[in-house]
Chain A
Amino acid sequence: MSQTETETHAPATTYAPKTHVLKPERSNLGALRPDHSKSVLIDWLTTVDHKKIGIMYGAIALFFLFVGGLEALIIRTQLIVPENDLISAQRYNQLFTMHGTTMIFLAVMPLNSAFFNYLIPLQIGARDVAFPRINALSLWTFVAGALVINFGWLLQALQMMGLFEASGATAGMTDMVPAGGWFGYAPLTSTDYTGVGTDFWIMGLQILGVASLTSSMNFIVTILNMRAPGMKMMRMPVFTWMSLVVAFLIVFAFPAITVALGQLLFDRTFGTNFFNVAGGGQPILWQHLFWIFGHPEVYILVLPAMGIISEVLPAFSKKPLFGYSIVIFSGAVIGFLGFAVWSHHMFTTGLGKVATAAFSLLTMAIAVPTGVKIFNWVGTLWGGRVRFSAPMIFSLGFVWMFMMGGFSGIMHAAAPADAQQQDSYFVIAHFHYVIMGGIFLALVSGIYYWVPKMFGKMWKGNLSTWVAVLVVVGLNVTFFPMHFLGLLGMPRRTHTYLEGFGWESYNLVCTIGSYILAIGILLLLVDLIRCLRSGEPAGDDPWDARTLEWATTSPPQVYNFAKTPIIPARDALWSHKYGPEGQKITYEDDHGHGIHMPSNSWMPLIASVGFIPLGLGMSLMQAGVPYMGYFAIFGLLTVGIGIALWAIEGPGGYHLHPEEDAA
Chain B
Amino acid sequence: MKTISSGLSRFIQYFSALLVVVLLGGCNLDTRMSTFVTKGPIAEEQLSLFMITVWVTFGIFIVVGGVYVVAIIKFRERPNDDRPMPSQGHGNPLVEIGLIGASVLLLVVIAVPTLKAIWFTHDTPDDPESRLGSWYGGEELAEEEADNPLIIKVIGYQWWWAFEYPQLGITTANEMVIPAGKVVHLELRSVDVIHSFWLPRIAGKVDLIPGRTNSMWIQAGDNFIKWKEKQGLEGEGPELRSNYASYLEEEIHNYYYGQCAEFCGDSHARMLFRATAVSDEEFEEWVIDERTGHGTPDGKSWDDWYAAYDKNPEQLTGDLNEGLKLFMSRAKCATCHVVKGNPRALGVAGPNLTNVGSRMSIAAGWLNHRNEEDGSIDAEQQYDNFFKWIHETDVVKPGNLMWKANGGGIGELIDENGDPDLLTEEEIHKISLYLQSLK
Contacts and interface: CB of A to CB of B under 8 A. Distances in A.
Interface of A: 88-90, 93, 180-181, 185, 187-188, 192-193, 277, 281-284, 317-320, 322-326, 348-350, 352-353, 356-357, 360-361, 364-365, 367-368, 371-372, 374-376, 378-379, 381-390, 392-393, 396-397, 399-400, 403-404, 407, 410-411, 413-424, 458-462, 464-465, 468-469, 472-473, 476-477, 480-481, 484, 487-498, 500-502, 505-506, 509, 578
Contacts of A422: 204-205, 261
B245 to A, nearest CB: 28
Residue among A282, A399, A423, A493 with max Cβ neighbours from chain B (10 Å): A423
Q: Which 5 A-B pairs give the minimum distances between C-beta atoms? A: A489-B33, A419-B204, A502-B31, A494-B269, A350-B214
Residue among B43, B200, B203, B206 with max Cβ neighbours from chain A (10 Å): B200
Nearest to B81: A385
A462 B23 contact: no
A326 to B, nearest CB: 5
Contact of B118 (A386, A416, A509): A416
Interface in B347-403: 366, 368, 372, 398-399
| Chain B contact patch, size range | 35 or more
Contact of A284 (B3, B61, B212, B272): B212
A400 B53 contact: no
A378 B64 CA distance: 8
Contact of A367 (B103, B122, B188, B209): B103
Contacts of A491: 198, 259-261, 269
A416 B114 contact: yes
Interface string B51-70: 01110110011001101100
A414 B113 CA distance: 9
A495 B269 contact: yes
B32 A501 contact: yes
Nearest to B398: A89
Contacts of B261: 348, 422-424, 491
B188 to A, nearest CB: 8
B263 interface: yes
Q: Describe B's contact surface by its main secondary structure.
A: mixed
A502 B37 CA distance: 13
Residue among B2, B19, B100, B268 with max Cβ neighbours from chain A (10 Å): B268
B303 interface: no
A410 B104 contact: no
Contacts of B49: 414, 416-417
Interface string B76-88: 1100010101111
Contacts of A323: 90-92, 96
Interface of B: 1-6, 8-9, 12-13, 15-16, 19-20, 23, 26-29, 31-36, 43, 45-47, 49-50, 52-54, 56-57, 60-61, 64-65, 67-68, 71-72, 75-77, 81, 83, 85-92, 95-96, 99-100, 103-104, 107, 110-111, 113-115, 117-123, 158, 188, 192-194, 196, 198, 200, 203-207, 209-212, 214-215, 257, 259-270, 272, 366, 368, 372, 398-399
A376 B90 CA distance: 10
Contacts of B46: 416-417, 419-420
B96 A360 contact: no
Given A388-B3, A416-B118, A319 B86 contact: yes
Nearest to B30: A502
Given A88-B398, A386-B76, A489-B32, A476 B19 contact: yes
A347 to B, nearest CB: 9
Given A188-B264, A284-B209, 12 more contacts: A89-B267, A90-B266, A188-B193, A281-B211, A350-B209, A361-B115, A375-B64, A383-B89, A385-B83, A388-B76, A417-B204, A489-B200
Residue among B123, B188, B205 with max Cβ neighbours from chain A (10 Å): B205
Nearest to B121: A416
B366 A498 contact: yes
A472 B3 CA distance: 17
B257 to A, nearest CB: 7
Contacts of B35: 420, 487-489
A543 to B, nearest CB: 11
Contact of B117 (A385, A387, A404, A416): A416
Nearest to B17: A476
Nearest to A542: B1
A397 B10 CA distance: 11
Contacts of B114: 357, 360-361, 364, 413-417
A165 to B, nearest CB: 15
B259 A357 contact: no
Nearest to A494: B269
Given A90-B398, A283-B211, A379 B34 contact: no
A488 B13 contact: no
Contacts of A487: 34-36
B87 A386 contact: no
A373 to B, nearest CB: 11
Nearest to B269: A494
A353 B257 CA distance: 27
Contacts of B269: 89, 491, 493-497
Contacts of B3: 387-390, 392
Contacts of A416: 45-46, 49, 114, 117-118, 120-121, 204
B57 A410 contact: yes
Contact of B4 (A185, A319, A390, A413): A390
A411 B53 contact: yes
B263 to A, nearest CB: 4
